[in-house]
A = this chain, B = another copy of it.
Amino acid sequence: MTHAPLEPSTTQAQPVVLDVDTGVDDALALMFAVRHPGLDVRGISCVAGNADVDQVVANTLAVLDALDAPEIPVARGAEQPLLETARDARHVHGADGLGDQGLPASSRATFGGGALEMMRMAVLDSPEPVTLVPLAPMTNVALLLRAYPEVKQNIAGIVAMGGAVTGGNATASAEFNVWHDPEAAAIVLGAGLPVTMYGLDVFSQVVVEQATYEVLRDDPDPAVALAGRLLAHSHGVIRSDPAVGHGGLIGDAGAVCAVARPELLTTHRWPVHVALAPGLTRGQTVVDRRYVLGEDSVHGVDSLGHLVDVALDVDAEGTRDLFLTTIGARP
C-alpha cells in the first residue's frame, strides 16, 4: 500500500459543521476532519443515533481529546427523532456506542446554548458558506432548517452519510441514519439546498484491511492507535458479510473525505424521495434512475423528487489512502 502525498484541494480551508452520533465511524470521521488542512471544523453537533445523545457528546469529546484537537464548539442536540423513539445501534457500535474502547472521560466543555444555537451561529458567522456534514440521523439539521430557515443563505451544501440506492441495512430497504429519523431526512432533502448523498452503496466500499489496521493499533499517536482499534471493531461486526468482510470500514469518514476531495466520488443527479408511509419501506431513499418514461408519468401519478447528487461509486483505494494519510498513519 502506498499513500499519496496529501494535497489540499482548495487553497483556503472549507468551513464545515459536522453532525454526529459518535459512533465508531463518526470517530474516524472526526479524526479525518480535524486533521485535514483543507477543512475548517466550525462546530460539531451531537444527536441521538448510535447511542443516546449524552453518550454521543461524551464520545465526541473523548475523541477530540485523543486527537489533541484545538477547541471546537461541541453541542448537545436532539434526544430523539422527530417522530420515532430513539433506537440505538449498540449491537453494532458497542455498549458505549464507541466500540467499548474505554476512552478516558473528557474535561472539555460543551457549547452552552444547545445544538440549534451553535449551528445557527456557526453558519451565519462564517465568512464563507458552510458545508453541513450530517453523519447521523438528521434530526438536528431538520430542526435547524425549520426553526431558522435564514441559515440557508450561508450554506454551500450538504454532504450527508445516509440512504441507499439498492438496499438497506437497518431494514431490507432502509439505511440506518434515514430509517432512524425519516421525517428529518425528508426535510433535509427537500430544503432546496445542494445535497450529496453518500449512501450505503459507497459506504461499504472503503475498507481498511486487517494487516493495515493492525499496524495502526501500535502507533504512538493515540488517535491513530484508536483508529486502528475502531477499524478492528468494525471488522468484527461485518466479518460475516461476504461483500465487505475482509477488513474494517471507514464508514462515515468516507463522506468527509468526499467533502475534501469530491473527485473521489462518482455521482449522478437523480430525483430522490424518502419513503415515509408506515410499513416495510419506511425510511427508504427512493432514487429514480429510469431512462424511459414510466406509467407514473403516463397516468399522472408521479411526484417530483428532489434532485440529489447520489454517490454511485467511490475511488475506494484513493479514499482509504487519503484517510490514512490525513489522520497521520505512517506509510
Chain A interface residues (CB < 8 Å from chain B)? 78-80, 82-83, 87, 89, 91, 114, 116, 139, 142-143, 146-149, 165-173, 176, 179-180, 183, 186-187, 237-238, 240-243, 271, 273, 275-281, 284, 286-296, 298-299, 301-303, 305
Contact = CB atoms under 8 A, between A and B. Distances in A.
A287 B82 contact: no
A6 B102 CA distance: 65
Interface of A is mostly: loop
A211 to B, nearest CB: 23
A168 B292 CA distance: 11
Given A187-B83, A286-B173, A240 B167 contact: no
Given A275-B279, A279-B276, A295-B87, A80 B173 contact: no
B238 A183 contact: no
A284 B281 contact: yes
Contact of A176 (B276, B286, B288, B295): B295
B143 A287 contact: no
10 contacts: A83-B276, A89-B295, A143-B147, A171-B294, A171-B302, A172-B289, A172-B290, A275-B280, A277-B277, A281-B286
A200 to B, nearest CB: 11
A148 B114 contact: yes
Contacts of A238: 292
A146 B166 CA distance: 32
